[in-house]
Amino acid sequence: MTPKTIKLDIMSDPICPWCFIGKAHLDKAIAAHPNHPFEIEWHPFQLNPDMPAGGMGRREYLEGKFGGKEAAVRAYAPVVENAKKAGVDIDFEGMKVTPNTINAHRLIHWAGIEGRQTAAVSALFKAYFTDARDIGDTEVLADISDSIGMDAAVVTRLLQTDEDMKDIRERDSHSRKMGINSVPTFVIANQHAVPGAQPPELWAQVIADLAAQADQTAQD
């Protein structure tokens, strides 16, 4: 029996490599279980809320965050390994800028209004990690919006305003007040928080457990 629709809220940032990897794992599990119950909604969580509006050089950012080049390389070794396992391509050499993601989150929000939210998230991950594009750049965001069927001219006009910026920041703050301090974090049915880039096997088990619960409920 197919279980009833269950909300899966995902706190994520489009410059977070573990979010990219975690989405790839979830996508794999969902593809293998087309009768999954999840209704997915993506929520803003900025890894670097104080990042300058124009972003900063990626090397400078990483070395500052991890305390030097060697420490940054060590910190990213697990990312490289897990990205390969997940089958996602990350062009670390090509990535030159670490952007402020507030506008990327605004785009995800607007895409959600049009029923294109997951498409926007997927396109942002690909643009940043695979194509090494600056997703803090307005023209890049407009191009991404066009690629998923949104009106790029409207998105460009909105990005030139503060539309929904306060809302995005408040939602980010709300997640932190709930105790979320890292991404990705998945919240199942408003009850169970699952942090980290979980493997497809875990999601397959969650889907199976939810189906079993639905079957039991139907029998009671």
Q: Is the pLDDT of residue 19 over 90?
A: yes
Q: What is the CATH number of the domain that holds 97?
A: 3.40.30.10
| pLDDT (average), residues 78-97 | 96
Asked whether residue 78 is assigned to any structural domain, the reply reads yes
| pLDDT (average), residues 178-183 | 95
Chain centroid to CA 44: 8
- Angle between helix axes 69-86 and 58-66 (nearest 10 degrees) is 110
Asked whether residue 1 is assigned to any structural domain, the reply reads no
Coil, helix or strand at residue 165? helix
Asked whether residue 77 is assigned to any structural domain, the reply reads yes
CA–CA separation, 74 and 1 (whole Å): 46
CA–CA separation, 144 and 150 (whole Å): 9
Q: Specify the number of domains making up the chain.
A: 1
CA–CA separation, 149 and 152 (whole Å): 9
**Percent of the chain topping pLDDT 90:** 94
Asked whether residue 150 is assigned to any structural domain, the reply reads yes
pLDDT at 46: 98
CA–CA separation, 50 and 38 (whole Å): 33
CB atoms within 10 A of CB 32: 12
Give the pair of three-digit tokens for residue 145: 């919006």
pLDDT at 37: 96
Asked whether residue 173 is assigned to any structural domain, the reply reads yes
| pLDDT (average), residues 27-47 | 97
Please state the pTM of the whole predicted model. Answer: 0.95
- List the one residue out of 81, 88, 11 whose CA is nearest residue 44: 11
pLDDT at 216: 81
Asked whether residue 159 is assigned to any structural domain, the reply reads yes
Query: Containing domain of residue 72, as a range?
Result: 6-219
Strands 38-44 and 6-12 come out as parallel
Q: What is the pLDDT of residues 119-128, one digit of tens each?
A: 999 999 999 9
Asked whether residue 109 is assigned to any structural domain, the reply reads yes
pLDDT at 1: 47
pLDDT at 126: 98
pLDDT at 218: 77
Asked whether residue 86 is assigned to any structural domain, the reply reads yes
| pLDDT (average), residues 9-15 | 98
Q: Is the pLDDT of residue 171 over 60?
A: yes
CA–CA separation, 200 and 182 (whole Å): 20
